[in-house]
Chains A and B, each alone.
Chain A
Amino acid sequence: MKKRITILLILCMSLVLTTSCIKKFLDDYLNKAPEQGLTDDIVFTKLTNFKLFFDAVYSGTKYWSGSTSWQNYNIRCASFMYFGWWDQKYTIESTTDASDQGRYMEAQAWKSGQMSETIVNKLTYDGARRPILESMFTDIRISNIALKNVNRIQDATDADKNDLRAQAYFVRAYCHFMLFKLWGPMPYITTIIGPDDQWDIPRLTAHETCIKIAQDFDTAYFYFNLAGTVRRDPIAAGGGHNDYNVYELYRPNGMAALAQESRALLYAASPENSGTPDDWKNAAQASWDALQVALAYGKVLLPLANRSQNFYGTMICDEAIWTWCPGTKAWDDGGGGNNFASWFNGPFLNNTANTSGVDPSQNWVDKYETIWGDPLNTQTDRDAAFALGHYNEQDPFANRDPRLETDIIHNQSTGIDGWGQVFATNATQHTLNRAEIWRKGAVNSELLNSANAGITQTGYYMKKWWAKNSCNNPISATYWTDPLNRLAELFLNYAEASNEAYGPTIIGVVGATLTAVDAINVIRTRAGMPNVQAAFTGTTDLFRPRIQNERNVELSWEGHYYCDVRRWNELQSVMSNTMIGMIAEKQAAITPAYPTGYMYVRRPLSADRQPMWKPQMYYLPFNIVDGLKMKNFVANPVW
Chain B
Amino acid sequence: MATYSVGATTPDGSAAPQQTTLTGKVTDAATGEALIGVTVLVKGTTVGALTDINGNFSIPVSSRQQVTLQISFIGYTAQEVLATPGTQVTVALALEVTQIQEVIVVGYGTQKKESVVGAITQVNSQTLMEAGATTITNAISGKLSGVLTIQTQAEPGSDNASLYVRGLSSWNGSAPLVLVDGVERDFSSLDPNEINTISVLKDASATAVFGAKGANGVIVVTTKRGNLSKPKMDFTFAYGEQKATRIPPFIDSYTTMTDLNVALMNYQGWNMLISDHALAEYKNPSTPLNALRYPNVDWFKECTRSLAPVSNANLNISGGTEFAKYFISLGYQYTGDFFVGQKDGYYDMRYYNHKFNYRINLDFNITKSTTLSMNVGGVLNLKNNPNSGSWRNLYSTGPARFPAYFPAWLLDPTNQYYVKDLNYPDATGWRRANYFGEYTENPYSSLTSGQFNKDLGSTLFLDLILKQDLDFILKGLSLNGKVSVSSYYNNRQVTASVTFPQYILTYDNIGTLNNPWKRYSPNETNDAWTMPPTDVNVGGLNGGYYDNLYYETSLNYGRSFGKHNVSALALFNRQQKNSTTDFPYYNEGLVGRATYDYDHRYLLELNIGYTGSERFAPDNRFGVFPSAAIGWVVSEEPFFKNAVPWMNRLKLRYSDGMVGSDYAKSRWLYQSSYFKDNNGKIREDLMANTMAQWERAHKRDIGIEMGLFNNVVTLTVDAFDEYRDKMLLTPKSVTMFLGQSLKELNLGKVKKHGIEFEAEYRKKPTQNFEYFVRGVFGWNENRVVFKDDPGNAFPDYMKLAGKPLTEVLNAEYGLEGLEINGVQLTGTGYYTSVDDIHNNVTPIDLTKLYIGDYKFLDYNADGTVNALDKYPIKGLTYPPITYSMSTGFTWKGFDFSILFSGNQGKYVQYNQAFEVEFIKGDWRLHSSQLDYWTPTNPTSNHSTLHWSGSSSADILVWGGGEADRGYQTIIENRFFRNASYIRLKDLYVSYNFKSGALNKAFGISSLLVYLSGSDLWTYTPLIEGDPEATNFYQGYYPQMATVRAGVKVSF
- A contacts, CB < 8 Å to B: 26-27, 29-34, 36-40, 42-43, 49, 52-53, 55-56, 59-63, 66, 70, 106, 109, 114, 116-119, 133-134, 137-142, 145, 187, 189, 193-195, 199-201, 622-631, 633, 638
Contact = CB atoms under 8 A, between A and B. Distances in A.
A30 B682 contact: no
B621 to A, nearest CB: 5
14 contacts: A27-B621, A29-B588, A33-B614, A61-B677, A106-B964, A114-B965, A117-B815, A118-B964, A141-B738, A142-B684, A624-B868, A627-B793, A629-B794, A631-B792
Nearest to A144: B739
B965 A33 contact: no
Interface string B853-874: 0000000000000111000000
Contact of B812 (A66, A109, A195): A66
B561 interface: no
A576 B675 CA distance: 49
Contacts of B736: 133-134, 137, 622, 626
B417 to A, nearest CB: 38
Contacts of B868: 624, 638
A119 B964 CA distance: 6
B683 A56 contact: yes
B740 interface: yes
A186 to B, nearest CB: 9
Contacts of A117: 815, 866-867
Given A70-B678, A114-B965, A137 B738 contact: yes
Nearest to A58: B681
Contacts of B790: 625, 628-629
B746 to A, nearest CB: 13
B535 interface: no
Nearest to B670: A33
Nearest to A193: B738
Nearest to A179: B736
B866 A116 contact: yes
Contacts, number: 173
Nearest to B867: A117
A63 B683 CA distance: 11
A423 to B, nearest CB: 31
A630 B965 contact: no
A109 B621 contact: no
B816 A56 contact: no
Closest 5 CB pairs of A and B: A141-B739, A629-B791, A137-B739, A38-B674, A56-B681
Contacts of B583: 32-34
Contacts of B735: 199-201, 626, 629-630, 633
A37 B675 contact: yes
Interface string B592-619: 0000000000000000000011100010
Nearest to B736: A137
Contacts of A53: 674, 681-684
B682 A630 contact: no
Interface in B723-747: 732-740, 742
Nearest to B742: A195
Contact of A38 (B622, B675, B813): B675
A65 to B, nearest CB: 10
A588 to B, nearest CB: 34
B793 A60 contact: no
Nearest to B610: A26
Given A52-B681, A199-B735, A630-B793, A29 B668 contact: no
Contacts of B675: 37-38
A630 to B, nearest CB: 6
Nearest to A60: B681
Contacts of A199: 733-735, 737-738
Contact of A30 (B621, B684, B738, B813): B621
A188 to B, nearest CB: 10
Contacts of B460: none
B766 interface: no
B586 interface: yes
A62 B677 contact: yes
Interface in B704-762: 732-740, 742
Given A52-B681, A137-B738, A630 B792 contact: yes
Interface string B806-824: 0000001101110000000
Contacts of B682: 38, 43, 49, 52-53, 56
Interface residues of B, number: 58
B544 interface: no
Contacts of B29: none
Interface in B661-680: 668, 671, 673-680
Contact of B867 (A27, A33, A62, A624): A624
A425 B816 CA distance: 56
B994 interface: no
Nearest to B614: A30
A625 B679 CA distance: 31
A18 to B, nearest CB: 14
A627 B732 CA distance: 12
Contacts of A31: 614, 618
Contacts of A34: 583, 668
Nearest to A34: B583
B740 A33 contact: no
Of the listed residues A40, A139, A199, the one surrounded by the most CB atoms of chain B closer than 10 A to its CB is A199
A490 B618 CA distance: 58
Given A52-B682, A139-B739, A30 B964 contact: no
Nearest to B590: A26
B574 interface: yes
Nearest to B745: A195
A629 B674 CA distance: 28
A137 B614 contact: no
B687 interface: yes
Interface in B909-968: 963-966, 968
A251 to B, nearest CB: 14
A616 B212 CA distance: 52
Contacts of B613: 30
Given A38-B674, A60-B677, A117-B867, A629 B586 contact: no
Contacts of B588: 26, 29-30
A454 B424 CA distance: 44
Contacts of B816: 623, 625
A109 B674 contact: no
Nearest to B739: A141
B681 A30 contact: no
Given A187-B737, A194-B687, A56 B673 contact: no
Contacts of A56: 677, 679, 681-683
Nearest to A635: B793
Contacts of B621: 27, 30
Given A60-B681, A200-B791, 20 more contacts: A29-B588, A36-B673, A38-B673, A49-B682, A56-B682, A61-B681, A66-B812, A70-B678, A116-B867, A118-B963, A134-B736, A201-B735, A622-B736, A625-B732, A625-B815, A628-B791, A628-B794, A628-B798, A629-B732, A638-B866
Given A30-B613, A116-B866, A629-B790, A59 B681 contact: yes
A256 B966 CA distance: 42
A352 to B, nearest CB: 12
Contacts of B587: 30
A629 B733 contact: yes
Contact of B739 (A43, A119, A140): A140
B765 to A, nearest CB: 59
Nearest to B813: A118
A27 B963 CA distance: 54
Of the listed residues B574, B613, B671, B674, the one surrounded by the most CB atoms of chain A closer than 10 A to its CB is B674
Contacts of A139: 739
A31 B584 CA distance: 12
Given A34-B583, A109-B965, A624 B612 contact: no
A470 B934 CA distance: 52
B739 A60 contact: no
A201 B739 contact: no
